[in-house]
A and B are shown apart, each in its own frame.
Chain A
Amino acid sequence: MNVTLIGYGSGNVASVRFALERLGARVRITDDPADVAEAERIILPGVGAAGYAMQRLKALGLIEPLRRFPRPLLGVCLGQQLLFETSAEDEDAENGGADLLGLIPGRVEAILPAPSRPSPHMGWSRLSIRRDNPLLDGVQSGDWAYFVHGFVCPDGPATLAAADYGIAVPAVVNSANRWGCQFHPERSAAAGARILKNFLELPA
């Protein structure tokens, strides 16, 4: 099992790599557009700010290769958010927020705190599966996953599984050959490992 991990200076590359290695995968970490074009399957990790991540991808010439990538692509955490069109993150008076990869329609919004609902959403929440998908084989509604995020993807037809955080949090999304996990599968014990294993086994 070969998987290419995009290492672009935005976060959790090492922990994702270790999780994949625990599953016996051969992991290549790269920031080279040529490697991306010929990869068997790609994981786009990421923690941190959307604007910074997009700047990095742009500087490395990775935006178009990722958009055009025809085989399985999995965005993790911020990587899931980057699949969408725009993000309210880094928004201010002069600037309407960050432009993302635009592979799934919709805008990523901030999680507003409420009583007994701190933001960021940080901790273990239960998954509720909306529709079957090979990525979710062996994963049940009620399984726990570890989330750490202050922004949330739009809930729509791409949502495969959601978590309840007072708002519906799209936890796993899919559109064509692109998948996303808002939570950290590499830090979500058994359910997370199963999802990574399923991704490695998707037909490339």
Chain B
Amino acid sequence: MTARRIIPCLDVKDGRVVKGVRFEGHVDMGDAAELAARYRDQGADELVFYDITASPEGRTLDYGWVQDIARLLDIPFCVAGGIRTVEQAARCLDHGADKVSINSPALERPEMIREMAARLGRQCVVVGVDSAFQDGEWRVHQYTGDPNARRGAGRLTMDWIVEAQGLGAGEIVLNCIDQDGVRKGYDVGQLAEARQRLTIPLVASGGAGAVEHFREVFVQADVSGALAASVFHSGAIAVPDLKRYLDQQCVEVRI
């Protein structure tokens, strides 16, 4: 089978890695390429680079840094942020990215998922979903990178992930924004529910604060990967320590 993936996510703003609590109030965490190389050497299984300013500002990511990262890494990486057309997604892959993740643009025009899958293959197409619990349901949120632009997307999370899978998504990254940045653990209940509805890989995002949270989400929600940012960037959890712990807990990881 596959090892459970440990995926540091680098939120990028103007070429720097940033992290904030619930996306608000960003703190500079360092240079993107430097951090990427560090995680590669520590045994991260995959990296996600998220240009958090691209989507609300209506611009697309700068393909130059995609190429710089591709030159450096011998592990897979995914890029996200402001990809609005199949052509732009193809250009990310042409510059060396392995996958592209779309979020708000897919909500605006779900057909884009189908077009990307037809052209690029569904395995490259990741749909990122920001989900929060509201009025008794998990609901999709949009433009979460910018507190001023952020809003509800008028969709239920469980319906949207199934629709995205049907349109051709190859993987779902479910970011549970109630948990994001507060380090109280992944939203295992929501992720387990999502896992049951999907046949494609599911990656957990939002809430990691301790090594036990990773074990919990792999064992209880059966997700393929767990994404985290601040706990890795701040040094609170080192990837090699996390993997040793998971291995001891009989969670299969790549060591």
B72, closest chain A residue (CB): A18
Assembled-state Cα–Cα distance A176/B169 (Å): 37
Assembled-state Cα–Cα distance A10/B70 (Å): 17
B123–A123 CB distance below 8 A: no
A50, closest chain B residue (CB): B121
B123–A192 CB distance below 8 A: no
Tell me the residues in window 4-55 of chain A with beta carbons closer than 8 Å to chain B beta carbons: 11-15, 18-19, 21-22, 47-49, 52
Contacts of B119 in A (CB 8 A): 48-49, 52
Assembled-state Cα–Cα distance A190/B254 (Å): 13
B3–A14 CB distance below 8 A: no
Contacts of B76 in A (CB 8 A): 146, 148, 184, 187
Tell me the residues in window 45-73 of chain B with beta carbons closer than 8 Å to chain A beta carbons: 45, 67, 70-71, 73
Tell me the residues in window 114-129 of chain B with beta carbons closer than 8 Å to chain A beta carbons: 118-124
Tell me the residues in window 85-119 of chain B with beta carbons closer than 8 Å to chain A beta carbons: 93-99, 118-119
Contacts of B237 in A (CB 8 A): none
B74–A118 CB distance below 8 A: no
Q: Tell me if A166 counts as interface (CB < 8 A to partner B).
A: yes
B2–A121 CB distance below 8 A: yes
Given the contacts A15-B96, A116-B222, A192-B74, A123 and B122 also touching, CB distance less than 8 Å: no
Tell me the residues in window 1-42 of chain B with beta carbons closer than 8 Å to chain A beta carbons: 1-3, 5
B2–A14 CB distance below 8 A: no
Given the contacts A47-B123, A123-B224, A187-B74, A14 and B1 also touching, CB distance less than 8 Å: no
Assembled-state Cα–Cα distance A50/B231 (Å): 40
A123–B71 CB distance below 8 A: no
Q: Tell me if A2 counts as interface (CB < 8 A to partner B).
A: no
Assembled-state Cα–Cα distance A19/B200 (Å): 28
Of the residues B2, B67, B93, B94, contact of A165 by C-beta under 8 Å: B2
If over half of B's interface residues share one DSSP class (helix, strand or loop), that class is named, otherwise mixed; here it is loop
A22–B224 CB distance below 8 A: no
B95–A14 CB distance below 8 A: yes
B121–A123 CB distance below 8 A: no
Contacts of B254 in A (CB 8 A): 124, 144
A66-96 CB mask vs B (1 if < 8 Å, else 0) is 0000000000001000000000000000000
Q: Tell me if B220 counts as interface (CB < 8 A to partner A).
A: no
Of the residues A52, A118, A150, contact of B224 by C-beta under 8 Å: A118
Contacts of A118 in B (CB 8 A): 198-202, 224
Q: Tell me if B171 counts as interface (CB < 8 A to partner A).
A: yes
Contacts of A150 in B (CB 8 A): 121-123, 170
A22–B74 CB distance below 8 A: yes
Chain A nearest CB from B203 CB (Å) reads 9
A11–B120 CB distance below 8 A: yes
Assembled-state Cα–Cα distance A63/B62 (Å): 35
Contacts of B3 in A (CB 8 A): 123-125, 144
Contacts of A189 in B (CB 8 A): 74-75
Contacts of A179 in B (CB 8 A): none
Chain A nearest CB from B162 CB (Å) reads 13
A192, closest chain B residue (CB): B74
Given the contacts A118-B198, A123-B201, A123-B224, A187 and B98 also touching, CB distance less than 8 Å: yes
B225–A123 CB distance below 8 A: yes
B2–A18 CB distance below 8 A: no
Listed by A's residue number, 29 A-B pairs whose Cβ atoms lie within 8 Å are: A11-B121, A13-B94, A14-B94, A15-B70, A47-B121, A47-B123, A48-B120, A49-B118, A49-B121, A52-B118, A116-B1, A116-B222, A119-B199, A120-B170, A122-B170, A122-B201, A123-B45, A123-B225, A124-B45, A144-B3, A148-B99, A149-B123, A150-B121, A150-B122, A150-B170, A165-B1, A184-B76, A187-B76, A189-B75
**Residue positions of B touching A, CB distance < 8 A:** 1-3, 5, 45, 67, 70-71, 73-76, 93-99, 118-124, 170-171, 198-202, 222, 224-225, 254
**Residue positions of A touching B, CB distance < 8 A:** 11-15, 18-19, 21-22, 47-49, 52, 78, 113, 116-125, 144, 146-150, 164-166, 184, 186-190, 192-193
